[in-house]
Copies of this chain bind each other. A is one copy, B any other.
Amino acid sequence: MKKDQSKRLQQQIDAINSLVLHQIKPSMQRIAIMDYLITHRTHPSADEIYEKLSIGMPTLSKTTVYNTLKLFASNGAAQMITIDEHQVNFDADTSTHAHFLCKQCGKIYDLSLPELATMPDMQKIEGHLVKEISYFYKGICKDCLAKGTKDSNTN
């Protein structure tokens, strides 16, 4: 229907705006990747993005996805999340917020921790110039806790 199309279009525009805002020249691939990041708030990995996008964009190269995400990160258009020791994840939300990784299902959640947000960017801590901040939490997520409650919740 018409509404879906115009919504899609608006999303594309949002992606382009974010690129331009962060001094990144838009291209088909960059728009597609940024769009994916904005519309999928699941903190995808490079490989995940590649797998999904290459369906509708068969010529897409995995190298392009890696290069583009690295570009996004260094221009502040995306956040690189190293919460999982096995792969890097990405987040289009570059505001300082915390992440929670469920050790059981592997899902990464956003956490809003208002008391931490008070720290301004680009400040010095113990003499070091801070450019990036990450708050990572790991454990068992709400959903997995609920599932596990059935019988074994002793540990």
Q: Which residues of chain A have a CB within 8 Å of any CB of chain B?
A: 80, 82-85, 88, 100, 102-103, 109, 111, 113, 125-142, 145
Contacts and interface: CB of A to CB of B under 8 A. Distances in A.
* Oligomeric state, in copies: 2
A109 B82 contact: no
Contacts of A131: 103, 138-140
Contacts of A126: 100, 109, 111, 142
20 contacts: A85-B88, A100-B125, A102-B128, A103-B131, A109-B128, A111-B125, A127-B141, A127-B142, A128-B137, A128-B139, A128-B140, A128-B142, A129-B139, A129-B140, A130-B137, A131-B140, A133-B138, A134-B137, A134-B138, A135-B136
Contacts of A142: 126-128
